[in-house]
Amino acid sequence: MRVLPLLFAVLVAAPMPSAHAQVATSAQVSPPAAPEASPELKARLAALPDILNGRGDYDSYFAANFRAAVPKDKFAQMIQQLMGSVGPFVAIERVTIVSPWEATLDVGFRDAVGSGKIIVDKAEPHQVTGFGLSSLVARAASVDEVVKQIAALPGLTGFAFATLGDGAPRIDAARNADTPLAIGSAFKLTILAELVREVNAGERHWDDKETLDGTQLPGGAYVFYPKGAEVTIRELAGKMISISDNSATDILLRTLGREKVEAMMPVVGVADPARNRPFLSTLEMFKLKGIAGLDARWLATDEAGRRAMLAEVDAAPVTSIRTDLFRDGKPIHVDTIEWYYSPADLVRVMDWLRRNTASGPGAEARAILGKNPGIGPASAGRWQYVGYKGGSEPGVLNLTLLLQGKDGSWHVLTASWNDTTKDVELNRLLSLISRAADLSAPK
């Protein structure tokens, strides 16, 4: 499945030293004075609204190396996509000076606020060498309002915020909590769960090595590894979760065994596991959606017939997949060929992982889940721990968070969005989930 993109890349040609870096020489040292913006930084901040609205002089505003990395047309496309998700630019709502040449800022749009930074070159002509937004948070006064905004999105949506404890999870806010929806790469949580079960049982160890046998793989880090190369289970699991590497996923699924992963679905709380059998690898999914004729035959048969087809699907060469698969942004079999979990299913999956990674060998998986928090640093900073897995393809988006409050309480926040007619907007749902994470953090 496709990797969820960053909102913006913060591109910095020559990072400026932090104005706050210092060495304390005694307990009597006074705190440093707040830095002041240089006139050049002030001028670039004043001109930023015109840049965002497409009226400024892009070539004179940004330094050459920034323009090389982000050409004007690409920048304009990113801004257009962003505003298509969260509405037009409104104002620069907050500026915090980090040094005379650097500031963090909040950029206000109609429906959300983006947080990021700007860096100006010390040397003339003092162009911008770094600019980007690292997070986007919706405008909503309560979790209930977040749910209402999610409900208003086109297509089919689901949402759940739950509190975890010794018993069954308590759903505190929800929309279509029991409705199975396509979740993209969030299916990889079940593979991780089976791995945790095996590690905790002593059947497998994180340092165990898997030898690559040359079997076909989807895109990812291991596609070009030579046959016979060895890679640890820990590395595979880390890449599967933190960067959603599809090749690592398929290697792990084959290593653990499809049947064992299928058997884990009811264990972790998936209410309708039959809908996800046979449990497909990512490459099998790509082939079913990208090789003419396979999809119709797959959909026309039952589970036994589909299992019989797997040998044919696996034997089909990767080169048979149409080269433009997913590139046109059009949904393909979103409601018929996918992995389907309800928001309540994902709450239970994350709760199982929480319980089984609290200590012992399985604790490694909790660290793996926490490598990529999925939400921006300000939202993540409201929590003691953030574990994340999401999934995305045209017409499919899921964001699922395992959260521990600074008071020690545990929660799950998850949302899915499916549309069979057009692609969904990552930035819009991400901004809403980020706001829900802000609002639900224990005080």
Sequence length of the chain is 443
| DSSP-derived secondary structure for 125-140 | T--EEEEEEEEEEE--
Q: Which two tokens stand for residue 434?
A: 């980020």
- 137 or 11, which is more confident: 137
pLDDT of residue 15: 35
Q: What is the DSSP letter of 118?
A: E
pLDDT of residue 17: 32
Please give the average per-residue pLDDT across 231-253, as a whole number.
98
Residue 304 backbone phi and psi in degrees, to 5: -65, -40
Q: Which two tokens stand for residue 346?
A: 């994902």
Please give the average per-residue pLDDT across 344-360, as a whole number.
98
Please give the average per-residue pLDDT across 217-234, as a whole number.
95
- Contact call for residues 346 and 178 (beta carbons, < 8 A): no
Return the residue matching tokens 């160890």.
205
pLDDT digits 0-9 by tens, 379-422: 999 999 999 999 999 999 999 999 999 999 999 999 999 999 99
Nearest CA-CA partner of 342 in 268, 237, 245: 268
pLDDT of residue 34: 81
Residue 181, classed as helix, strand or coil, is strand
Beta strand 112-120 pairing with 128-138: antiparallel
Q: Quick one: how far is CA 180 from the chain centroid?
A: 20
Please give the average per-residue pLDDT across 137-151, as a whole number.
97
Return the residue matching tokens 């005694």.
26
Supply the pTM of this predicted model.
0.90
Residue 159 backbone phi and psi in degrees, to 5: -155, 145
Buried b / exposed e across 168-178, counting CB within 10 Å, b at 16+? ebebebbbbbe
Please give the average per-residue pLDDT across 176-191, as a whole number.
98
**Confidence category of residue 4, pLDDT binned at 50, 70, 90:** very low
Nearest CA-CA partner of 134 in 425, 374, 370: 374
Please give the average per-residue pLDDT across 156-160, as a whole number.
98
Would you say residue 240 has pLDDT above 60?
yes
Would you say residue 355 has pLDDT above 60?
yes
pLDDT of residue 304: 98
Please give the average per-residue pLDDT across 205-212, as a whole number.
97
- Report the chain's C-alpha Rg in angstroms: 23
- Contact call for residues 392 and 378 (beta carbons, < 8 A): no
pLDDT of residue 29: 56
Buried b / exposed e across 254-276, counting CB within 10 Å, b at 16+? ebbebebbbebbeebbbeebeeb
pLDDT of residue 255: 97
Determine the Cα–Cα distance for residues 138 and 149; give it in Å rounded to an integer. 10
**Confidence category of residue 5, pLDDT binned at 50, 70, 90:** very low
**Confidence category of residue 33, pLDDT binned at 50, 70, 90:** confident
Determine the Cα–Cα distance for residues 288 and 181; give it in Å rounded to an integer. 19
**Confidence category of residue 28, pLDDT binned at 50, 70, 90:** low
Determine the Cα–Cα distance for residues 278 and 256; give it in Å rounded to an integer. 15
Please give the average per-residue pLDDT across 298-309, as a whole number.
98
3-class SS shares of the chain: helix, strand, coil, % to 5: 40, 20, 40
Would you say residue 357 has pLDDT above 90?
yes
Question: How far are the Cα atoms of 255, 260, 268 from residue 194, in angstroms, in the given order?
Answer: 11, 7, 9
Average pLDDT taken over every residue of the chain: 93
Would you say residue 37 has pLDDT above 60?
yes
Would you say residue 10 has pLDDT above 50?
no
pLDDT digits 0-9 by tens, 72-109: 999 999 999 999 999 999 999 999 999 999 999 999 99
Q: Which two tokens stand for residue 169?
A: 């999870």
| DSSP-derived secondary structure for 22-79 | ----STTPPPPPPP---HHHHHHHHHHHHHHTT-S-HHHHB-HHHHHHS-HHHHHHHH
**Confidence category of residue 13, pLDDT binned at 50, 70, 90:** very low
Would you say residue 19 has pLDDT above 80?
no
**Confidence category of residue 30, pLDDT binned at 50, 70, 90:** low
pLDDT of residue 158: 98
- Contact call for residues 180 and 349 (beta carbons, < 8 A): no
Determine the Cα–Cα distance for residues 262 and 253; give it in Å rounded to an integer. 10
**Counting Cβ atoms within 10 Å, is residue 21 exposed (0-12), middle (13-18) or buried (19+)?**
exposed
**Confidence category of residue 443, pLDDT binned at 50, 70, 90:** confident
Residues 374, 380, 381: CA angle, nearest 5 degrees: 155
